[in-house]
A and B are shown apart, each in its own frame.
Chain A
């Protein structure tokens, strides 16, 4: 039988993976074994029980081809224009069995079987160091809802006529030439927003070119060169987002409460975000004191979270936000791997930081700087407007609950779940989860006219939904945005209603918050 030149099938092992990366790129063995990616992929594939690798020996990758045409083709050194693609399966099979799958319709190894055990693919670029190209891998299982990756989309994979599918978000390593970390983070972000908001998804070189149309202000610190690219500033990243037709939204995230709340709220709406942070290597000096060594700033795409805490961490004024249960973020870190863990930790100096897989001399701490979101232009109302209104309402309800000192209240403090959603997503979810509980309210809620984008604030007590508030996310902040309410249980609505009537009768109390007033107005019995 003649040797096949299009593919090769090998059993999975860490050594086999290493060899695949070395043989299918221009990287040396030392380069590959020293990459964090190898450690990361090896752990990842072990956990997902990888059994076989199919090496697709000649694969034309759109993103690499764009980068190649814009840069590599004009180098003196010759670089190949095509890549190799490694496909991973959890089932062990031989090259002969795979061949039969392609050629024999009655083969034991079928397309369906391959789909069931498909873990995803990694494109290997023919470069000397930065070899990890477009990568789409399955995520870890949800662990009873603890892990959530709301931004996954379906990627279709054509492998010699076999149609495979994988739910993922594409990832790739920066090549440090046409893309630095910020470009790679934006590229992954656009993989999600492109599908969601129907915009063209630019290649890394196109993102870098768009971003660098603006020369950064601080030239001594930032390179003015577009290519090779040494990195981007926040302003340049915002320009790249504008270039795909979306609106950049940026907010400071030095506090975990703010970062978790905002990131969660938009991610539940399937919008990935770019998180920028400073990496600090914390060393011990001769006196045993900690000394910070700044490594620089880095950017990743936030792709998921883990609601690992049993109960919410009380926020300002004891406010219980569901997002404060987050103990880990998952991010596409181009220097580590896809869906890599970033664990919230507290330093001995009482500083909150994210622990990552980055290596330093001491312990490396990631200190968040800002979160940047690519938003569809009709999402005009930011998370803060709704959060701040609910915070005020909750503060008032909490004062009422504890007003009478003689006994602790029977009604517990609600936990608020605030996130962005769409009308179709809300109605599908409503039909699934609340229909059995609500009777007459069901038809009204399913047929009510609502805007396309909504902020949903759900109050839960003891894990049970009590109240659902829906706000128009497309309106203007000075108007009342509350468009629909679902009262599942009567206690919290009764409390709100009690305060609403009291508030109407007083002219010495002012809330100065239009959205909080809208909530009380809705429940007032004295319209």
Chain B
């Protein structure tokens, strides 16, 4: 992995990213990722309910 630096040029971000990726390989990391995927999916399901237009809404007279 490339060595990454922030804008100030004095913090080595590559170590931090390597640590983040390493953490994924732990049981805790794996469980957290599975949790994040499930949470995102359930939130998208909630959004889909909002995005749905009900049949009665299609027949509302728009008259004003």
Contact = CB atoms under 8 A, between A and B. Distances in A.
B14 to A, nearest CB: 7
Contacts of B50: 252-255, 258
A414 to B, nearest CB: 14
Interface string A275-299: 0101100000000000000011111
A393 to B, nearest CB: 9
A298 to B, nearest CB: 4
B60 A234 contact: yes
Given A409-B16, A490-B4, A499-B21, A180 B36 contact: no
Interface in A3-38: none
A433 interface: no
A395 to B, nearest CB: 4
A511 interface: yes
A105 interface: no
Contacts of B34: 508-509
Contact of B40 (A296, A335, A392, A499): A392
A325 interface: no
Given A234-B59, A410-B11, A403 B32 contact: yes
Contact of B62 (A253, A276, A411): A276
Interface stretch (A74-82, A217-225, A443-451): A217-225
B61 A222 contact: yes
Contacts of B40: 316-317, 391-392, 395-396
A506 interface: yes
Contacts of B32: 399, 403
A495 interface: yes
A505 to B, nearest CB: 9
A421 B32 CA distance: 35
Contacts of B7: 462
A167 interface: no
Interface residues of B, number: 47
Interface string B13-41: 11011111101110011101111110111
A218 B17 CA distance: 59
Contacts of B33: 396, 399-400, 499, 509
B63 A296 contact: yes
B20 A258 contact: no
Contacts of B60: 221, 233-234, 276, 278, 297, 369
Given A298-B64, A395-B37, A410-B13, A222 B59 contact: yes
Contacts of A431: none
A475 interface: no
B64 A392 contact: no
A335 B57 contact: no
21 contacts: A181-B63, A182-B62, A221-B60, A230-B63, A234-B57, A252-B50, A252-B54, A255-B50, A279-B64, A298-B62, A384-B48, A388-B44, A388-B47, A396-B40, A400-B23, A404-B19, A410-B6, A498-B21, A501-B21, A502-B25, A508-B34
Interface of B: 1-2, 4, 6-7, 11, 13-14, 16-21, 23-25, 28-30, 32-37, 39-41, 43-44, 46-48, 50-54, 57-64
Given A234-B60, A495-B17, 15 more contacts: A218-B61, A222-B59, A230-B63, A233-B61, A234-B57, A251-B51, A255-B47, A258-B50, A299-B62, A392-B44, A399-B33, A494-B4, A494-B17, A499-B24, A509-B37
Q: Return the 5 tightest CB-CB contacts between A and B, nearest first.
A: A231-B63, A498-B21, A316-B43, A298-B64, A395-B40
